[in-house]
A and B are shown apart, each in its own frame.
Chain A
Amino acid sequence: MKGHKRDIVSTGKAPLKSPVAVSVGLHLLVFGIALAGWSWNTPPEPEPKSISARLISPEPRPTPVVEERDQADKEQERKQAQAREREEAERQRQAEEKARQEAERKAQEEARKREEERRRQEAQARELAEKQAREREAARQKAEAEAKERERQKAEEERKRQEEAKRRAEEEKHRQEEQRKKEEAERQRREEEARKEAERKRLEAERRLREQQLEALADQARQEREAEARRQQEAAAARAREAQMLSESEKYQALIRERLSQAWYPPSSATENMTARLQITLLPTGELASVKLVSSSGNTAFDNSALSAVRSLNRYPIPDNRDTFERYFRQFTIEFNPQRLR
């Protein structure tokens, strides 16, 4: 009831979001009016019902509609009441006739007023409906707009989503690319590192090898130095012996040369390009053991002069040192080759 009342009094300001409630309220109102007209035993006219409802409505009594919970009791009561009421009504009917006429007039007035009201209300309702329709339309349009907006938003969202997806894909791709690059870089870095490592290891190995070699060389050099030192010492000693032998040898070579030069009579047919080589073997006493013509000058007289010279010495001057003798004078070669002919 409160809702209803409130609905009625609430004029142009119907709640935007409860068109159903308005509709319900209106129906209740119509039903209430019809009910009041019926109970008055008057031909129900559509319009008085609403008037009677109007009359009743100031009564603070609760409406039977609301109290028809106990249908049977209510029927009984209603029949008794009706009897009384018919008596009452007869009695009253004159009064009322008058009153009714009055009321009629009033009612007409009322109806006219109500008509006006109704019209006004209808206008209002129409207006309201229109307004509502407008509102609905607006709402629809709004909804549509909203839908469109939503659609747009949705499309936008979709676009955005797609863009996002694309972006994401791009990003993903980029990321993957980055990742790939990164991996590649990483791979390269690893490879580089591996290479560097290998290089380092190689260098290290080389270095070690070199060091080993150097060590070996150093070792070898040291050994060689030592050996060389030993050798040099030995060589020095040998050289000293050698030098002595050589100087001794040279001395005796010179002596032999001198003796042979004195003993050699190059024949007059000799020329400066004649050379005879004789191999001499001596006894340790300095005596000639044997002589061999190992290379002839091609001139018999020349060869003979050389052979004769070599054999003319009774004893060859030789060193006392037996080693020197064995080394140089046991066997040697004499070459006869005139450089200065008379």
Chain B
Amino acid sequence: MFMKSRSRCSGSFLKTPVIACLVLFLTASLGARAELLIRITEGAGSAIPIAVVPFAESGSMPAGDKVGSIVQADLTMSGEFRPLEPSKMLSLPSERSEVYFRDWRMLGQRYVLVGQLTRNGDRIQARYELFDVNQEKRILGETAAVPASNLRSLGHHISDRVYEAITGAPGVFSTKLAYITVSGEGEQTRYRLQVSDVDGKRSKVRLESREPILSPAWSPDGKKLAYVSFETGKPVIFVHELATGERQKVADFPGLNSAPAWSADGRSLLMTLSRDGNAEIYRMDLASRNLTRLTDHWAIDTEAAWDHADRGIYFTSDRSGGPQIYHMERPGAEPRRITFGSRYNARPRPSPTGDYVYYVHQRDSTFHIARTNLETGEETVITRTGSDESPSVAPNGRLLIYATRQNGEGVLTVVSADGGAAYSLPASEGEVREPAWGPVTR
């Protein structure tokens, strides 16, 4: 602003531009001080109205969801946007010259996303623009191209770009989910490890077993999953290469082998082993398979996860009588108890920014997902459902996925990290549990 006014001044007062500017600036700031000041400390508290105009298409498009629909769904799932139904739009512009801001203002829209898709061989190219209606300003204008078969990826990509342009935080719509489904009964019971888009679409079964599969965990590069499989009759930790389907048994010690969690560099796994008689937390170097024991207590210590700095760990321990969350600042340090709010707090999942830790929290004889502000110690229950379990935080820290029960069935729900908005993923066949939100991969 100052630069702007200076250049303006320089034009009008060539001889004494600096002084004139100073005077103007001082006057302006003095004037500003005496002025009325209105402070806005609260926002609307509701989702941002955005019009995602169906993209214009030229050339044949694959069947299925349109890009615009994918973007709308993504933005809706984020809980931060409230896309306008296309049926309510007064016009369907696909480029700037067709955008009448007054119309969109009238419709109460803040942003308008327009675009066009062009078939180019077996690829589809997208050109899209995002406008700030009130400022009548384009804040995003890009092109992207994908194979025709990968239109959903294009949609998620555009969602990410829009989300970041408006909120300033990276979107997570191109990330993956891993989860376990259970179907059938008795002999027919099948456990499946599945991977899907964040909206639950394009799910693929990566492993099917008659025995339970638990605790899928994404490697930091998003290329591998570690999980616990009972396929051998006892819990064993596997590392599963997604691209090849290659599996490695990494922990098959006597007793319990459970709760794998990757380090940020992907070279080691945290795990709970009872090989020494009691459930303790170990770190395994994946290359050498060397184990380092991190806890040593007569109580159960399990469900470890690296803190955001990758220096210490959060874990569950019943050393105080019931399961509670502890933080060990660095290996060997005395664990510090984090949760006090109730008799049951388990399965800690720290946020990527390090300001919160999320966990399963029992209250009023049911289970919720809660978070504790690590700075203030304040605990907030963020889910309104019951029987909630297995929280997993999105890589941008804004969203959280967890398993809950709906009409007697296990389903996955995405919720704003602050609990503001919830979005249930469309139910697949059977029961869904143990979701794991994958990393952002570029």
Give A contacts to B, CB under 8 Å. Answer: 249, 253, 256-257, 260-270, 279, 292-294, 299-302, 304-312, 314, 328-329, 331-342
B36 x A337 contact (CB < 8 A): no
Taking the closest CB of chain A, its distance from the CB of B30, in whole angstroms, is: 13
Known interface pairs A268-B80, A292-B1. Does A339 touch B41 (Cβ–Cβ under 8 Å)? yes
* B42 interface neighbour in A302, A311, A339, Cβ under 8 Å: A339
Closest B residue by C-beta to A331: B35
CB of B90 within 8 A of chain A? no
Instruction: Select A264's contact among B43, B139, B166, beta carbons within 8 Å.
Output: B43
Contact of B134 among A270, A301, A302, A307 (CB under 8 A): A307
Interface size on B, residues (CB 8 A): 34
Query: Contact between A334 and B40 (Cβ–Cβ < 8 Å)?
Result: yes
Given contacts A253-B38, A268-B167, A331-B35, contact A307 B44 (CB under 8 A): no
Q: Is B36's CB under 8 angstroms from A302's CB?
A: no
In the complex, whether B45 has a CB less than 8 A from a CB of chain A is yes
Q: Which residues of A contact B45 (CB under 8 A)?
A: 342
**How many angstroms between the C-alpha atoms of A226 and B242 in the bound complex?**
92
Chain A residues, Cβ within 8 Å of B37: 332-335
B389 to chain A, nearest CB (A): 24
Q: A307-B132, A332-B37 are in contact. List 7 more A-B contacts (CB 8 A).
A: A257-B39, A267-B166, A279-B35, A301-B166, A331-B31, A334-B37, A342-B418
* Residues in B whose Cβ lies below 8 Å from that of A249: 36
Contacts of A300 in B (CB 8 A): 168
Cβ contacts A to B, 7 pairs, < 8 Å: A294-B1, A301-B165, A312-B105, A332-B38, A334-B39, A339-B42, A340-B41
Output the least CB separation between B232 and chain A (Å): 44
Q: How far is the CB of B6 from chain A (nearest CB, A)?
A: 14
Q: How far is the CB of B219 from chain A (nearest CB, A)?
A: 27
Q: B170's closest neighbor in chain A, by CB?
A: A269
Residues of the A chain whose Cβ atoms lie less than 8 Å from the Cβ of B38: 253, 256-257, 260, 332-335
The one of B44, B133, B168 in contact with A302, judged by C-beta atoms closer than 8 angstroms, is B168
The listed residue (B40, B46, B167, B418) touching A336 by CB distance below 8 A is B40
Q: Given A253-B36, A335-B38, A337-B41, does the pair A307, B135 have CB atoms closer than 8 Å?
A: yes
Query: Which of A262, A265, A337, A342 lies in contact with B110, CB distance below 8 A?
Result: A265
| Cα-based distance from A18 to B317 in the complex (angstroms) | 171
CA distance in complex: A333, B1 (Å): 15
Q: Are A265 and B43 in contact (CB under 8 A)?
A: yes
B433 on the interface (CB 8 Å rule)? Answer: no
Chain A residues contacting B1 (CB-CB under 8 Å) are 292-294
CB distance from B14 to the nearest CB of A (A): 24
- Among residues of A, the one whose C-beta sits closest to the C-beta of B110 is A308
Max chain A Cβ within 10 angstroms of own Cβ: one of B1, B42, B44: B42
Residue of B nearest to A280 (CB): B38
Q: Which residues of B contact A269 (CB under 8 A)?
A: 167-169
**B8-48, CB < 8 A from A:** 31-32, 35-48
Chain A residues near B416: list those with CB within 8 A: 342
C-alpha spacing A307/B44, complex, angstroms: 15
Decide if A267 touches B39 in the complex (CB within 8 Å).
Answer: no
- Residue B332 CB within 8 A of the other chain: no
Residue B141 interfacial (CB < 8 Å)? no
Q: Which of B35, B38, B165, B418 has the most A CB atoms < 10 Å from its CB?
A: B38
| Shortest Cβ gap from A293 to chain B (Å) | 6
Taking A341-B418, A342-B416, A342-B418 as contacts, is the C-beta distance between A262 and B36 under 8 angstroms? Answer: no
Residue of A nearest to B108 (CB): A312
Q: Which residues 415-439 of B sit at the A interface, judged by CB distance below 8 A?
A: 416, 418, 420
Q: Assess whether A314 is in contact with B105, with CB atoms less than 8 Å apart.
A: yes
CA distance A300 to B110 in the complex (A): 16
Confirm or deny: B152 has a beta carbon within 8 angstroms of a beta carbon on chain A: no
Q: Which residue of A lies closest to B139 (CB)?
A: A304
Q: Which residues of A contact B36 (CB under 8 A)?
A: 249, 253, 328-329, 332-333
Q: Which of B44, B105, B169, B420 contacts A265 (CB 8 A)?
A: B44
- Give the distance to chain A from B284, nearest Cβ to Cβ, in Å: 36
CB of B43 within 8 A of CB of A261, answer yes
How far apart are B50's CB and chain A's nearest CB, in angstroms? 10
B368 adjacent to chain A (CB < 8 Å): no
Query: In the complex, A57→B37 CA distance in Å?
Result: 173
CB distance from B31 to the nearest CB of A (A): 8
Q: In the complex, what residue of chain A is closest to B421 when comparing beta carbons?
A: A342
In the bound assembly, the distance between CA atoms of A279 and B132 in angstroms comes to 19
Known: A293-B1, A332-B35. A308 touches B44 (CB 8 A): no
With beta carbons under 8 angstroms apart, the residue of B32, B35, B105, B169 that contacts A268 is B169
- Whether B398 sits at the interface, judged by CB under 8 Å, is yes
The answer to whether A311 touches B135 (Cβ under 8 A) is yes
A43 to B116, CA, bound (A): 221
Bound CA–CA A294/B24 (angstroms): 14
- Complexed CA–CA distance, A331 and B34 (Å): 10
- Whether the Cβ atoms of A312 and B42 lie closer than 8 Å is no
Give the CA-CA distance A266 to B167 in the complex, in Å. 8
Against A, the Cβ 8 Å flags (1 = close, 0 = not) of B146-176 are: 0000000000000000000111110000000
